[in-house]
């Protein structure tokens, strides 16, 4: 099973607003799993058409 999440695990307590429920959910999700924490910018965001339009505008303004 694969699970991706933008929220760090510690933020789930505030999100679920119930420490007992958050403990139960997180225990089931992270038990016997490998966690990979990535620090890079989102490729979806980096390659979005909005960013490409902004980059094009910046390049046009410089010329």
Structure confidence by residue, pLDDT tens digits, 15-42: 889 999 999 988 988 888 887 877 888 7
Domains of the chain: total: 1
> Quick check: is 41 in a domain?
yes
State pTM to two decimals: 0.48
> Quick check: is 3 in a domain?
no
Tell me, what's the pLDDT at 1? 64
> Quick check: is 4 in a domain?
no
Residue 31, SS3 per DSSP: coil
> Quick check: is 1 in a domain?
no
> Quick check: is 18 in a domain?
yes
Q: Domain range for residue 56?
A: 9-62
Residues written for the chain: 63
């Amino acid at each position: 099973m694969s699970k991706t999440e933008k929220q760090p695990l510690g933020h789930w307590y505030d999100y679920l607003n119930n420490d007992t429920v958050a403990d139960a959910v997180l225990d089931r999700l992270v038990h016997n799993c490998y966690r990979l924490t990535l620090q890079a910018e989102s490729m979806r965001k980096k390659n979005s058409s909005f960013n490409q339009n902004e980059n094009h505008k910046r390049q046009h303004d410089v010329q």
